[in-house]
């Protein structure tokens, strides 16, 4: 949010290396510390990860908006004016949790999170981006699973936040992207949430992808201009910012063990929703044209205690809803009007047998 304070790159890098490669012990009763310097001997048993994926490693605690420069291994895509906000449980004033200047929110994991203004009102084309780095370059042709947590928090009445947007995405790259002021990055993201996402509490987004280049960096945000994107208020009138909190970025190699692991079943491919369980299937398209082939949109659900599905248009208007296990939408709205060809958003709430409530959402295309 505030202007990024540019640090001396050489000094910063030396400090980072010293902090990471040193272990210091303050001996009781003595006025000095003993430091053991660990000399790197190669990449032995290195594990692929997002560097500082939870924003926990820092050079200080925030005291105001902005201050992303305090967090190691993260950047704002090089802009001199568009700077995400760093929040910490031990921060003060505008940098503390859970009461941030824009919303109330706890960290998803640990003590720290980052918030960014991914967009403003439609037509303004203003952006903030968040860029991270992998511990090693990705291998071409190998499949990976990428995940992160996202939330909008509990937005108070006086806050400028409260807009939700479609088309949030992740772009992978071999070098860092560079943003000009607050202008949109024009690169095409490798993963994109085509529907509007807005959550008071944390939601984990998880997807798989195949590396087509030796990616080392990734950037999160809303790519391209506002044209064709949905930007709407979820908190009433007068809201001017689409503000999102993020935490717990991670990556891992997809192996046969992972694909067969029940505990890892919450995943999806690019542009598909991520947290569909193995026993739940949601079609991505249907064609209610009377030919008896895919005439209805019929989800197949795992065993549950109850479910509710709703379908919305891209403007957020409710078109159809169903309660119970036998869900089937023929394209007719709640007003008895035939829906037009296009993309719609479904939201499914399921009460699982163990009592846990799971909410899923995604797009469905209505064809001729």
In order, the DSSP letters of 149-192 are: EEE--B--TT-SB-EEES-EEEEEESS-----TTPPP-SPPSEE
pTM of the model: 0.62
Find out whether 61 and 90 touch, Cβ atoms under 8 Å: yes
Taking 90 as the threshold, does the pLDDT of residue 278 lie above it? no
Q: Whose CA is closest to 198, among 158, 160, 230?
A: 230
pLDDT of residue 238: 85
Same domain, 183 and 219: yes
Task: Based on the fold, state whether residues 220 and 290 are members of the same structural domain.
Answer: no
Asked if 191 and 313 sit in the same domain, the reply is no
CATH number at residue 349: 2.60.40.1220
Give CA–CA dist 352/338, Å, rounded: 32
Of 140, 116, 14, the closest CA to residue 55 belongs to: 116
- pLDDT top residue among 29 and 127: 127
- Residue with token string 């012990």: 25
CATH number, position 104:
2.60.120.260
- What pLDDT, on a 0 to 100 scale, did the predictor assign at position 300? 78
Give the residue among 16, 110, 99, 121 at the shortest CA–CA distance from 54: 110
Do 365 and 359 meet the contact criterion of CB atoms below 8 Å apart? no
Number of domains in the chain: 2
**Averaged pLDDT for residues 44-62:** 89
In a domain, 5, yes or no: no
Based on the fold, state whether residues 233 and 112 are members of the same structural domain. Answer: yes
Burial (0-12, 13-18, 19+ Cβ within 10 Å), 198:
buried
What mean pLDDT value characterizes the chain? 81
Per-residue confidence at 255, pLDDT binned at 50, 70, 90?
Answer: confident
Domain C-terminal end among 257, 292, 320: 257
Q: Are residues 239 and 321 in the same domain?
A: no
What was the pLDDT predicted at 280?
65
Reported confidence tier of residue 266, pLDDT bands at 50, 70, 90 = very low
Angstrom distance (rounded) from CA 13 to CA 28: 31
**What is residue 67's predicted lDDT score, i.e. its pLDDT?**
93
Is there a single domain that holds both residue 232 and residue 154? yes
- Is pLDDT larger for residue 66 or for residue 17? 66
Contact 113, 246 (CB under 8 A): yes
Q: How far apart are CA 181 and CA 82, in angstroms?
A: 6
Specify if 77 maps to a domain: yes
Kindly state whether residues 123 and 192 are assigned to the same domain: yes
Query: CA 361 to CA 59: how far, in whole Å?
Result: 38
Q: Are residues 205 and 333 in the same domain?
A: no
State whether 126 and 50 are in the same domain. yes
Range of the domain at 359: 278-366
Residues 294 and 199 occupy one common structural domain: no
Say if residue 284 is in the same domain as residue 159.
no
Same domain, 233 and 295: no
Percentage, residues of the chain above pLDDT 70 = 78
Comparing CA positions, the residue from 336, 318, 154 lying closest to residue 245 is: 154
- Which of 120-134, 203-217, 282-296 has the lowest average pLDDT? 282-296
Residue 310: count of CB within 10 angstroms of its CB: 17
Mean pLDDT, rounded, for 34-57: 67
Confidence of residue 284 (pLDDT cuts 50, 70, 90): confident
Whether 289 has a pLDDT exceeding 60, the answer reads yes
Instruction: Check whether 114 has a pLDDT greater than 50.
Output: yes
Note the pLDDT tens digit of each residue in 205-250.
Answer: 988 889 999 999 999 999 999 988 889 888 888 899 999 999 999 9
């Amino acid at each position: 949010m505030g202007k990024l304070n540019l640090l001396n790159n050489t000094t910063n890098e030396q400090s980072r290396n010293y902090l990471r490669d040193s272990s210091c012990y303050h001996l009781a009763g003595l006025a000095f510390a003993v430091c053991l310097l660990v000399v790197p001997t190669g990449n032995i048993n290195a594990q692929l990860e997002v560097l500082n994926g939870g924003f926990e490693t820092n050079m200080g605690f925030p005291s105001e908006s902005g201050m992303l420069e305090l967090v190691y291994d993260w950047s704002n895509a090089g802009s001199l004016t568009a700077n995400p906000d760093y929040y910490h449980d031990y921060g003060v004033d505008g940098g503390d949790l859970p009461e941030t200047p824009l919303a109330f929110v706890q960290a998803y994991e640990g003590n720290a999170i980052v918030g960014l203004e991914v967009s403003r009102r439609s037509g303004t084309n203003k952006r903030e981006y968040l860029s991270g780095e992998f511990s090693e370059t990705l291998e071409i042709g190998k499949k990976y699973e990428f995940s992160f947590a996202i939330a909008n928090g509990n937005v108070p009445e006086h806050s400028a936040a409260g807009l939700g947007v479609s088309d949030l995405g992740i772009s992978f790259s071999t070098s860092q992207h560079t943003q000009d002021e607050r202008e949109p990055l024009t690169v095409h993201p490798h993963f994109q949430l085509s529907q509007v996402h807005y959550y008071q509490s944390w939601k984990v987004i998880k997807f798989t992808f195949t590396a087509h280049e030796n990616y080392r960096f990734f950037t999160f945000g809303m790519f391209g201009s506002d044209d064709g994107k949905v930007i709407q208020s979820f908190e009433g009138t007068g809201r001017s910012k689409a503000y999102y909190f993020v935490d717990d970025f991670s990556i891992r190699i997809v192996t046969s063990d992972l694909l067969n692991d029940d505990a890892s079943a919450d995943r999806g491919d690019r542009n598909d929703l991520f947290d569909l369980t193995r026993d739940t299937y949601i079609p991505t398209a249907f064609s209610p044209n009377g030919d008896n082939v895919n005439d209805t949109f019929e989800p197949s659900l795992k065993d549950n205690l109850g479910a509710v599905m709703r379908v919305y248009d891209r403007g957020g208007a409710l078109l159809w809803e169903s309660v119970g296990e036998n869900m089937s939408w023929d394209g007719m709205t709640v007003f008895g009007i035939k829906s037009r060809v296009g993309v719609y958003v479904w939201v499914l709430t399921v009460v699982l047998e163990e009592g846990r409530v799971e909410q899923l959402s995604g797009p469905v295309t209505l064809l001729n």
